[in-house]
Amino acid sequence: MGTGWAAVAISAGAAWMAEALRGGDKQLGGYVGTDCLFCKVVSGEVPSEKVFETEKVLAFRDINPQAPTHVLVVPKRHVGSAAELGTEHADELVDIFEVCNVVARQEGVDSSGYRIVTNVGRNAGQSVFHLHFHLLGGRPMTWPPG
């Protein structure tokens, strides 16, 4: 094997790494080796209070609750925000809303009502760039939101 092979191997490695860092390598099942807080919650590296889980989705309590029930529902595979969703996320989206139904029942807010919200980008106040749906309940809420 000459230096040509080595160069090909190195550049293939670099392309793989760039794609993984971008979070777009479907073969890896999402985002690997990067600094995403909710990927770390999913992997268990950052501890969380788990509320419910499926193969594709995790629900855990928000660290700074804004209502008596404040649960975050996230896809285990990294997605930056709702703006990045496509048909390839259909299964996860079905799971996310099924998990919201289960969590609402489990938390006892299904009959009183609750809000599901996801923030996209700066003006909406998104602070963690891994898709998450806030499920808020247990108190009356105003509309429009601030």
By the criterion CB under 6 A, which residues form the site for ligand 5GP?
A: 37, 46, 48, 60-64, 119, 125-128
For position 36 contacting Zn ion by CB under 5 A, the verdict is yes
Q: What DSSP element (H or E) covers 94?
A: helix 90-106
SS3 69: strand
Residue 129 CB, shortest distance to Zn ion, in Å, is 7
The interface partner of residue 78, options being ligand 5GP, Zn ion, none and the CB cut-off 5 to 8 Å by kind, is: Zn ion
User: Is 89 annotated as catalytic?
Assistant: no
Output DSSP code: residue 21.
H
Give the other-Cβ count within 10 Å of 72's Cβ: 21
Output the CA torsion sign for 59, 77, 23, 80.
negative
Residue 126 CB, shortest distance to Zn ion, in Å, is 13
Of 38 and 114, CB closest to Zn ion:
38
- Give 13's Cβ-side CA count (13 Å radius): 6
Q: For residue 10, give the amino acid letter.
A: I
Of 31 and 114, CB closest to Zn ion:
31
The interface partner of residue 39, options being Zn ion, ligand 5GP, none and the CB cut-off 5 to 8 Å by kind, is: Zn ion
